[in-house]
Amino acid sequence: MFKAVMIEKSADGTQSVAIRDVPEDQLPEGDVTVRVEYSTLNYKDALAITGRGPIVRSFPMIPGVDFAGVVENSQHPDFAPGARVILNGWGVGEKHWGGLAQKARVSGDWLVPVPAQLTTRQTMEIGTAGYTAMLCVQALQREDVTPDKGPVLVTGAAGGVGSVAIMLLSRLGYHVVAVTGRPEEEAYLTGLGASEIRARQDFSTPGKPLDKARWAGAVDVAGGVILANVCASMAYGGVVTACGLASDMSFPSTVAPFILRGVTLVGIDSVMCPKHRRLAAWAGLAELIDAAKLAAMTSDITLDDAIEAAASLLDGKIRGRVVVRMP
């Protein structure tokens, strides 16, 4: 038996969530079985656990879109027992049992090795949010947004993606402008490396198709009007990476930023991201992460706490990243 967060749906459609003891022979198909050491609480996991978003595609489901741990059994050529591995995405925690459990069984093709410089715990302090932040940063780099081009904006700054993005960008020498709805987090954000703080409300009401040209790059986790306003205030040739919908899923913009300022909008998806990009992201994270800042932005909870913490995360009450320790 292993312990897991289990989401169930009754015949009348009501969702319930509890910690359950699950027989190991019920683990899903896969050629690698992992003893999970750490998982995390991501935005998507919180939507799944609370039922506030349609994340779970089949029931019963163990949520958790990421985990790190040690291979117990493997029929996959790349991973021997004892190997330290990370999983991000691939529908795990949505349609395949996920990481908020002591055990997981997945396809070895989905796994990446833990970089030698990182502990398994650190990989989950980074988690899918941090790996997505790195995908955004590397997309800006591929589009030639170098630090000399101008400031880079990060929305949802005090959240998981935002916090790691600020840390990475500042480490790379960018002038980072953090957009937050929590002005009380100013000291936290400047501690991570933000040079300026802007209020979320400056971006959250519908604006003009083009605003004053300010930013060379942007990492946007918000979507909606905020993303539209970010696009409208990009400098000529600026690049926006869009990875989230913390505000909403709409995109009420015009083509003006794209056809008059040559702005580029780059979509970032961590779930089906090809393996070479994942490996590059994890290699970049291993090189750039500041262990002390990472630890400072992380709160630690147990599997039992995960259900309650999910609602707090969606209510914007949690700062940075949440690591879930397995019993």
Q: Using CB under 6 A, list all residues that contact ligand NDP.
A: 42-44, 128-129, 132, 156-162, 180-182, 200, 221-222, 226, 243-247, 268-271, 313, 316
Our CB check for ligand NDP shows the closer of 108 and 224 to be: 224
Our CB check for ligand NDP shows the closer of 217 and 244 to be: 244
Count the helices and strands in the chain (H runs, E runs): 9, 15
71 three-class SS: strand
Residue 220 corresponds to which tokens in the numbers above? 């946007």
CB of 194 to ligand NDP, least distance (A): 10
Our CB check for ligand NDP shows the closer of 39 and 132 to be: 132
CB of 303 to ligand NDP, least distance (A): 19
CB of 89 to ligand NDP, least distance (A): 7
Q: Where are the beta strands (DSSP E) in 99-193?
A: 103-106, 111-113, 152-154, 176-180
Q: Is the peptide bond before 252 cis (omega within 30 degrees of 0)?
A: no
Q: Are strands 215-220 and 66-74 parallel, antiparallel or unpaired?
A: unpaired
226 three-class SS: helix
For the chain, the straight-line distance linking the first and the last C-alpha, in angstroms and rounded, comes to 13
Our CB check for ligand NDP shows the closer of 42 and 233 to be: 42
Our CB check for ligand NDP shows the closer of 83 and 268 to be: 268
Cα separation, 50 vs 62, in Å, equals 13
Cα separation, 243 vs 58, in Å, equals 25
Report which residue's Cβ sits closest to ligand NDP: 159
CB of 243 to ligand NDP, least distance (A): 4
CB of 99 to ligand NDP, least distance (A): 14
Our CB check for ligand NDP shows the closer of 114 and 313 to be: 313
* Beta-carbon count within 10 A of 213 CB: 17
Cα separation, 291 vs 136, in Å, equals 20
Q: Are 322 and 309 in contact (CB under 8 A)?
A: yes
Our CB check for ligand NDP shows the closer of 83 and 230 to be: 230
Side-chain half-sphere exposure of 68, counting CA atoms within 13 A:
24
CB of 151 to ligand NDP, least distance (A): 17
CB of 292 to ligand NDP, least distance (A): 20
CB of 49 to ligand NDP, least distance (A): 13
Cα separation, 267 vs 167, in Å, equals 21
Our CB check for ligand NDP shows the closer of 210 and 271 to be: 271
